[in-house]
């Protein structure tokens, strides 16, 4: 028998979405380059001590349209785009190989802000991939060595045994890179900055360009 969800629905509607004190955003004074504008907002998130300001949701799809999304951490952002890393034997990498188009979404609730980045994902190359893997803490490197990502696991005990063995491998060879780790760059074609305000509604500012070397254009969108 299906449970009555009216109480849950009421509780969800009663939850506060954003705090009352929000920073201003004047789209007319935004940077002409969305990467510079993103860095400015990221600095605000760091200054306001927003939890996990580098966390983002990456959405990918296969060639036949199956869509998946997961939360990961931003590794860098520069003139080439937004950087993240992944194993090369999982669903994420397989989908990016079939369809390099992807979307990356950041939500900074405490600031009432969201950033959406859409573009094509490329490899950062073997040197950058090895450097990214070796920059991870030892336990994170050990976790990245385990099994085949997203493959069925027979038991939790099997994982723990493999994790302990991986930690021993990392301790014995701390400078050895993983052959299944790759740094990736999302090269943006569209970047949207969304902000809500305390008294005057929402703001959406979209940057678009036709090619990686093209000029950015800015457009306000109806929320």
Element of type H or E holding 45: helix 34-47
C-beta separation of 101 from 61 below 8 A:
yes
Owner of token pair 């504008």 = 37
Spatial contact of 170 and 142, defined as CB atoms under 8 Å apart: yes
Per-residue pLDDT at 133: 92
Helix (H) / strand (E) containing 77: strand 76-78
Q: How many C-beta neighbours within 10 Å does residue 168 have? A: 11
Q: Are 68 and 86 in contact (CB under 8 A)?
A: no
Please give the chain's pLDDT, 223 residues, in tens: 566 667 899 999 999 888 888 999 999 999 999 999 999 999 999 999 999 999 999 999 999 999 999 999 999 999 999 999 999 999 999 999 999 999 999 999 999 999 999 999 999 999 999 999 999 999 888 888 877 777 888 899 999 998 899 899 888 888 888 889 999 999 999 999 999 998 899 999 999 998 877 899 999 999 9
129 burial level (CB within 10 Å; 0-12, 13-18, 19+): buried
- Of 185, 188, 178, 177, give the one whose Cα is nearest residue 84: 185
CA–CA distance, 140 with 175 (Å, rounded to integer): 14
Which residue from 117, 121, 97 is spatially nearest to 107, judged by alpha carbons? 117
| Phi-psi sector, 40: left (phi>0), alpha (psi -120 to 50), beta | alpha
Please work out, in degrees rounded to the nearest 5, the angle formed at the alpha carbon of residue 26 by the alpha carbons of 73 and 218.
75
CATH classification code of 28-220:
2.30.110.10
d(CA 206, CA 204): 6
């Amino acid at each position: 028998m299906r449970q009555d969800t009216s109480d849950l629905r009421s509780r969800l509607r009663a939850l506060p979405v954003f705090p009352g004190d929000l920073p201003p955003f004047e789209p007319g004074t935004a940077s002409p380059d969305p990467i510079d504008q993103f860095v400015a907002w990221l600095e605000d998130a760091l200054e306001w001590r927003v939890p996990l300001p580098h966390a983002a949701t990456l959405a990918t799809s296969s060639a036949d349209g199956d869509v998946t999304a997961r939360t990961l951490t931003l590794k860098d952002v520069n003139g080439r785009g937004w950087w993240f890393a992944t194993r090369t034997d999982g669903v994420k990498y397989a989908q990016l190989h079939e369809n390099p188009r992807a979307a990356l979404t950041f939500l900074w609730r405490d600031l009432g802000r969201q950033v959406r980045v859409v573009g094509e994902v490329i490899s950062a190359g073997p040197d950058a991939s090895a450097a990214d893997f070796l920059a991870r803490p030892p336990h994170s490197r050990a976790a990245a060595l385990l099994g085949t990502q997203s493959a069925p696991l027979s038991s939790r005990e099997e994982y723990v045994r493999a994790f302990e063995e991986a930690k021993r491998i990392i301790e014995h060879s701390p400078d050895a890179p993983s052959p299944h780790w790759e740094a990736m760059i999302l090269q943006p074609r569209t970047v949207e900055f969304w902000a809500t305000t305390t008294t005057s509604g929402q703001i959406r500012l979209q940057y678009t360009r036709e090619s990686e070397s093209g000029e950015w254009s800015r457009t306000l969108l109806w929320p």
